[in-house]
Structure 1
């Protein structure tokens, strides 16, 4: 608490503040005392402003928990950063048809890119999506890797989840259930990266030659490259 300083009557006389002196009842011979003037308006205003700022600071600290570090920048055009070079080599196909999206809010920045291989008869098609979320007001660790990812129609087989070492703070690789594909999610501080790659068999039922383990390794490599590009 900020209290008023102890001031005697002589301070006003010495400072030239113009404090008035009045005689006590009882006539001559009685001591004269000085009546201190009210505090200056600007002094009161300063105390009240400081109190208001402190109260607001306490309210913010009480409302916003500890926020993890953000070591990555927001990219409005993620497709320019997103290069599936290793995945394309594993698939034996080139990706094109890039679609981009992004938004920036006080609590979170996000950006998205979707690409796919062109359609060819009797050939496996591939689609890939990457989502980067930068959480600025809360820690995303509690809900990390609990949702459907970039495609709500897909189902994750948690029983086949693999922990990926050496990528961000935590990384997991999940298989899609009843559909060809994998999802790689990385948590690093307040940033969450999600990369999904799906493959679709030709309509005539011709089986495609897909090395899922090689595709998983390619996804990890391309994710590492993207994270390096976005590093502050």
Structure 2
């Protein structure tokens, strides 16, 4: 059993009168105190660096979240949009298959864009359809203030905003223009910095046997077409989601 003198001696050996460690045989105690003395400042310095880095990263995150010129982009750029563009539901509503696909794309500092145009083949006595999809990814300015304010690039475009409908549950905001570019409909969707524009047009091909030349060869269920456009747009957005 260890007596009190031995305990007292142990404490005296661990620390001298001046607060420094006394060396044991072989210098083990001296070495242990030396290592402990040099490790402390490094640990404090490392903790300071980590804390500073965390504060700096947090400040950057807060700063970026409040920057008005950095819109949220949750979609990827597709250089060949026709490979992503599937008008399955629209084709069913039209009763025709779309083909003749043409695409284009561009990547710039402020915006990436891509488009795809498709159409049905001409058939005498049948209705023809054409569709165009444009995807714009705004990387600098916020597109929300000017969303759906212009008629488009087609000089023949006409748009009746009284016929415009808000489409709920699609992106941040979605609008459907029923009367657009002669016989057609335009669906536009805003989601963060991404703008999706789908236009579908149809042309009444006249029967050669029509007496007055004004009898359309067929009719179209516009409500079914509008629902089909919304469904195909939803499918595309899901496909391009990051």
Aligned to 2:5: none
Ranges in structure 1 where 5+ consecutive residues have no aligned partner: 1-60
Aligned to 1:161: 164
- Counting helix residues as a fraction of each chain, which structure ranks higher? 2
Check 1:169–1:96 CA distance in 2 against 1; reply closer, same or farther (3 A cut).
same
Using the TM superposition, give the Cα deviation of residue 68 of structure 1 relative to its aligned residue in structure 2, in angstroms: 1.7
Is the counterpart of residue 186 in structure 1 residue 189 in structure 2?
yes
Aligned to 1:132: 135
Is the counterpart of residue 216 in structure 1 residue 226 in structure 2?
yes
SS at match of 1:222: helix
- The 5-angstrom pairing of residues 64-83 of structure 1 reads 65-83=68-86
* Partner Cα distance (2:130, 2:152) in 1: 14
**TM-score of the pair, normalised by structure 2:** 0.67
C-alpha contact (below 8 Å) 2:180/2:186 kept by paired residues: no
Using the TM superposition, give the Cα deviation of residue 211 of structure 1 relative to its aligned residue in structure 2, in angstroms: 0.4
- CA shift digits 1:167-218 (9 cap, x unpaired): 0000000022572110000000000000000000114543221000000000
SS at match of 1:195: strand
- The 5-angstrom pairing of residues 38-187 of structure 1 reads 65-149=68-152, 151-176=154-179, 179-187=182-190
Check 1:114–1:96 CA distance in 2 against 1; reply closer, same or farther (3 A cut).
same
RMSD of the alignment, in Å?
A: 1.8
**TM-score of the pair, normalised by structure 1:** 0.70
Using the TM superposition, give the Cα deviation of residue 66 of structure 1 relative to its aligned residue in structure 2, in angstroms: 3.4
* Partner Cα distance (1:216, 1:101) in 2: 25
C-alpha contact (below 8 Å) 1:150/1:196 kept by paired residues: no
* Partner Cα distance (1:153, 1:99) in 2: 21
Ranges in structure 2 where 5+ consecutive residues have no aligned partner: 1-63, 207-212
C-alpha contact (below 8 Å) 1:76/1:102 kept by paired residues: yes
- CA shift digits 1:40-86 (9 cap, x unpaired): xxxxxxxxxxxxxxxxxxxxx9xx73322100000000000000000
Which one has a bigger Cα radius of gyration?
2
Using the TM superposition, give the Cα deviation of residue 156 of structure 1 relative to its aligned residue in structure 2, in angstroms: 0.9
* Partner Cα distance (2:74, 2:143) in 1: 14
C-alpha contact (below 8 Å) 1:149/1:194 kept by paired residues: no
* Partner Cα distance (1:128, 1:68) in 2: 28
* Partner Cα distance (2:233, 2:96) in 1: 18
2:215 to 191, 202, 206: 206
